[in-house]
Amino acid sequence: MSRRWIWTAVPIALVAFAEPAQAQGQGEDELSRIPSEAPPAPPATPSGRSGLGKLQRTVYLESATEAELLRSSLDVPSPSPAPTTIEERFFADLVLHWIPTRDLTFHLSARGGFRVGEGIPFPTHENIRADFRELYASWKPFEGAYLDAGRINLKSGVAIGFNPTDFFKTRAVVEPLSIDPAVLREDRLGTVMLRGQFVWRHGSVSAAFAPRVASPPPLYTNTTLPALDPMFGRTNGHHRFLLKGNVDLIADFSPEALFYEEDGAVRLGFNVAQSLGKKVVAYAEWAGGWQSGIGQEALSFGTLTGSFSSAVADNLATSSATHFQQDASVGLSYATESKMTFWLEYHLHQAGFSRADWRFWFDQGTGPSGQLLAPILWFERGYAQEQQVPMSKHSLFLRADWTDAFIFNLELTAFANVDLYDGSTLAQVTASYAVTNLWTIALLSSANIGSRSSEFGSLPSVFSALFTIRYYF
């Protein structure tokens, strides 16, 4: 061993075994913030916990008080009954999962309660509402394969404001508390169907058949909702078939393709979502098929269900010919380090109203036959709402969400739906605060902004506010 090596090794050993330096920058305040080592013990695994055990349940009670400010007059008069200006709803919401064996699961999702309000007679059956959203069984014959049967809420699509590939959305939303698309999906009925699904390491494929089990009922209004009725006519008024699948083409790129048939009419669909860097997600959704314009479709539906006579509808009839019509939703989301997320979406609904269609709608409603035609004109708009499609061909959707805004557990959400023809806007702001793990309160306010002859400015409601209190059991 050379002397030079020894002179080198000694300082190494000294450094290695010497008392190390104190960490720089480790403030006492860091350590003083640490809670004592006696955190609440994690709960055991009994039944009754929301997400564990053989019987899982989520139950809450909610009180929702809504006040609405109506316009004093409208260019196209709103049909009677006039919208309710104040309404109170009190309901229980129940979701149950029962897992008797590893391969068999039963699901129940329902909501029921009372409502009173201006224009809703009391006491009548109109004061009671119950919706059976889902009731189905799932069986796993082998790993990755699933068979589901019953009333199922089958949702497709990756966009936020409008989902062209969500083919089972039509007529499924019942009495929504908010027009926020995210909330609309919570209040929707499932469809009676048989569904098979296979999920493997590189993708999945699903097939669903929903039979016609009842005739399609007319459009519902706030005062014609049945009290205790599964309303199968809304969800199972036609034979419907869906085949969809997604495959990982490369890494995390996994687009989904859809084939949908309803009473012989075919629609094709496609959707994809992709991260662009750390903060941005880009997504696109497209569907296309042969159909007539939304106005003509509504008129055909209205005469079919006896909502009005074909003689009156003929005054508004346009071409009943079907064309290949496309729907699209293309958007971006952007998340910040401050717990804010923004979405921007463009919506295309080719079967929707063009600028000329809007002019025709207002001309007819304000013309000499306006009083006669107004109910049918508003029926067209109610039809689009039940179909959950935009009324206009081109619209823009913006949304912002801020988690832990100002204080812990306060969430602020705002969205705007903008008609790109006339610039009119439906805007809503929501503040939701989780007071405890069990109590949540929320305040929503929405406004229809625009001129009297615009899409949103022509609506009866100017402004509405909703206050909710929710308690989980």
Partner 1 sequence: MSRANALRIPTGLVIAALSAGAWGQTPAEIVARADEVRNPNAAFRFLSTLTEYVSGKPQAQNVLAIFSKKDPRTGQFRNLVRFVEPPRDAGKAVLLDGRAFWFYDPASKASVRISPQQRLIGQAAVGDVLTVTMSIDYTATLVSTESVQDANKKPRTSWHLDLKAANELSTYARIEYWVEQGSFQPVKAKFYSDSGRLLKILFYRSFETWLGGLRPTEAVILDAVDSSRVTTLKSSEHRLQQIPEAWFQREYLPRLEAE
We find the least distance from the C-beta atom of residue 312 to partner 1, in angstroms, to be: 38
Nearer to partner 1 (CB atom), residue 251 or residue 311: 251
Nearer to partner 1 (CB atom), residue 10 or residue 86: 10
We find the least distance from the C-beta atom of residue 170 to partner 1, in angstroms, to be: 15
Cis before 81 (ω within 30): yes
Nearer to partner 1 (CB atom), residue 95 or residue 420: 95
Question: Measuring CA to CA, which residue among 245, 373, 382, 401 is closest to residue 317?
Answer: 373
We find the least distance from the C-beta atom of residue 405 to partner 1, in angstroms, to be: 12
Structure tokens at 223: 């005062």
Structure tokens at 299: 């008129």
We find the least distance from the C-beta atom of residue 448 to partner 1, in angstroms, to be: 24
We find the least distance from the C-beta atom of residue 9 to partner 1, in angstroms, to be: 10
Nearer to partner 1 (CB atom), residue 206 or residue 446: 206
Nearer to partner 1 (CB atom), residue 273 or residue 373: 273
Structure tokens at 380: 């067209």
Question: Measuring CA to CA, which residue among 341, 296, 303 is closest to residue 323?
Answer: 296
Given CA atoms 135, 141, 147, 153 in this order, what sign does their dihedral have? positive
Nearer to partner 1 (CB atom), residue 22 or residue 73: 22
* Distance in angstroms (rounded) separating the CA atoms of residues 46 and 35: 27
Structure tokens at 136: 């189905």
Beta bridge partners of 396: 346, 418
Question: Measuring CA to CA, which residue among 448, 337, 370 is closest to residue 76?
Answer: 370
We find the least distance from the C-beta atom of residue 237 to partner 1, in angstroms, to be: 21
We find the least distance from the C-beta atom of residue 415 to partner 1, in angstroms, to be: 15
Instruction: Name the 3-class secondary structure at 107.
Output: strand
User: HSE (CB half, 13 Å, CA atoms) of 237?
Assistant: 16
Nearer to partner 1 (CB atom), residue 255 or residue 460: 255
Question: Measuring CA to CA, which residue among 372, 466, 464 is closest to residue 71?
Answer: 464
